[in-house]
Every structure is written in C-alpha cells, then in structure tokens.
Amino acid sequence: MVRRADGAPRGPRTLTIGVFDSGVGGLTVTADLRQALPDARIVYLADTAHAPYGNKPPDQVVELVLAGLDRLVEAGADVLVVACNTAAAAGLAVARSRYPVPVVDVVAPTARAAIDRLAAAGAVGRPIGVLGTAATIAAGVYPRALSAVAGATVVGVAGPELVTLVERGTTTGALAGAVVRRRVAPIVEAGVGALILGCTHFPFLAPAIRAAVGDAVPLVTAGPGTAAATAAAVGREVAYGPRPASRDLLATVDLRCTGDPRRFARTVERLFARAGAGDLSRPMPGDHRLPVTV
C-alpha cells in the first residue's frame, strides 16, 4: 500500500494523484489519467507564476519542480506525475530521490509508445521526430530513451513559441497553422515514421500539426503511456473506461495554480471550450491553500 509523506495509509479507493506542469499542458495527460483511473482523486498544480519553463536554465527548473512537487505531497499525493517534458528532463532523478512516493515521468512511456506506433505503421527503420521545447531538445532525453528501447534515429526540433500559443489559447487559425508549419518543416523533410509531441502543451495543437505533417505520420502523445505507467506504479489495473468529456474532466480535478487563477481559468476555458464554464472564472478550489509563488 502506498503511503503519504505523513505515513498515513490510503486505501485503494482513495488514491490521490498529484500532477505537475508549468501550465495547462499537463491537462492533456490528466484526461488519460482520469480515463485510466476513474476513481482516483487528481490534484493538478500549474506553476503559472514561473511559466514557461522551456527557456529557463536546468538548475532553476529543478528548483521550481521540487517546490511544486512539495506542494502536491503536502496535498496528500500518493503518486506524483511530472506532466512536463522540460521538468522531467531537468528534475526527474532528483525528485525520485526526494519523495517517498512513486514519481512518474512522461518521457520513458512516450518513447516506448513511439516505438510501438512506428512498428504498427510499418515504418521501422525510419527516424522518429520529436517536437519539444528548447530545453527538452537540448537535454537529449528522447534520443537517450529511444536508443535504450530500440536504437532509433531521432530528429529533434524545438518549438518554444508553440507553448506560448497554447497558453494564450491560440490553437487554431492562420497564425497557429503558420507557426506549426514552419517548425515541423525539418521533421517533414526528414521523412519521419512517427512524431512525438514532446511537450504536453502540443496535443492542443494536434489538428494544426496533423495538417502540417499529413495523415500517414502517427502523432504520439504522452497521455496514454503515462497513465498506464502511473497505474503500474501504484499497483492498479487500467480501467479503459470511456474518455471523459472536457466538462466532466474539469469538474473532477482539483485545479490549482501558483499565478493568477483568473487568467489560468480563462486559458482553460478557451482550450477546453467548456460549456457552462462560468464557475471557472472564479479562483478555483484549493488556490487559497497555495502561495502565489512557490
């Protein structure tokens, strides 16, 4: 049985998952966590006061990640999900040595999923594209992970402005399409057999990315593999229930942020187009339990 930092046991029906990201991107992973573990309590912390992480030095990212994960452990998390590639690249090893609960990252599960998708598409031997933040690409975490799995060749491209587009809620239209096409052009030219969306913000841009790379290239996101890895970390079976609608997902997640909660709420509203989202225009439950900055 998993125990919290305070030593209190948690039964199988009261599992608490702490999800951390610099902003809204980790909500794409949270949707898969809710589908895989429908009875779990999910506490989501967005470090919006310090986002984005992709342009920060690794030491600073580690400091911010640990501060955020500390808050999630204090909130009773039985397992921590670092739903940010940049955060995982910089701080995963330190986090795993710091906490008495499992720490799940997005990189390893996504790399394994990419190899599976490459094989399913009959494209074994072709390179795998990775679209990520500058920090994730510079850290080389996906080439290492993919090499460990199957020795795959990787074409990595940084798209830092894509995170900004998502955080502003600009995921469709001419601007988003033009920026995405410019960034993925080297990946398309390389003839990749699969494309990893190596930032959890990027699934919000999936339609634009799909239009740019074509239908033949599988897009690999972090959510499904990370959800399965989380379930395995706490000894649970994956439920494989219906995927929650946006409205239902947000209603069942304890959303918290370190910055302006109203701004965060507006971004979530735009991205999820949630019907009747007026309640999200107010500070979200739990915000008062966190400081403005971490």
Query: Is 6 known to sit in a ligand binding site?
Result: no
Cα 69-72-76 angle, rounded to 5 deg: 140
Query: Is 86 known to sit in a ligand binding site?
Result: yes
Alpha carbon dihedral 264, 141, 232, 83, in 10-degree steps, equals 0
Query: Is 18 known to sit in a ligand binding site?
Result: no
Query: Is 286 known to sit in a ligand binding site?
Result: no
Query: Is 55 known to sit in a ligand binding site?
Result: no
Query: Is 110 known to sit in a ligand binding site?
Result: no
Q: How many CB atoms lie within 10 A of CB 272?
A: 20
199 labelled catalytic: yes
Query: Is 293 known to sit in a ligand binding site?
Result: no
Q: How far, in Å, CA of 105 to CA of 203, rounded?
A: 17
Given the residues 19, 84, 89, 271, the one annotated as active site: 84
Q: What are phi and psi of 24, to 5 degrees?
A: -90, -15
Amino acid identity of 43? V
Q: How far, in Å, CA of 38 to CA of 131, rounded?
A: 30
Given the residues 64, 199, 208, 217, the one annotated as active site: 199
Query: Is 44 known to sit in a ligand binding site?
Result: no
For residue 40, give the 3-state DSSP assignment.
coil
C-alpha count within 13 angstroms, C-beta hemisphere, residue 26: 32
Query: Tokens 């990595």 appear where?
Result: 156
Binding-site members for substrate are 21-22, 53-54, 85-86, 200-201
Residues forming the active site: 84, 199
Annotated binding site: 21-22, 53-54, 85-86, 200-201
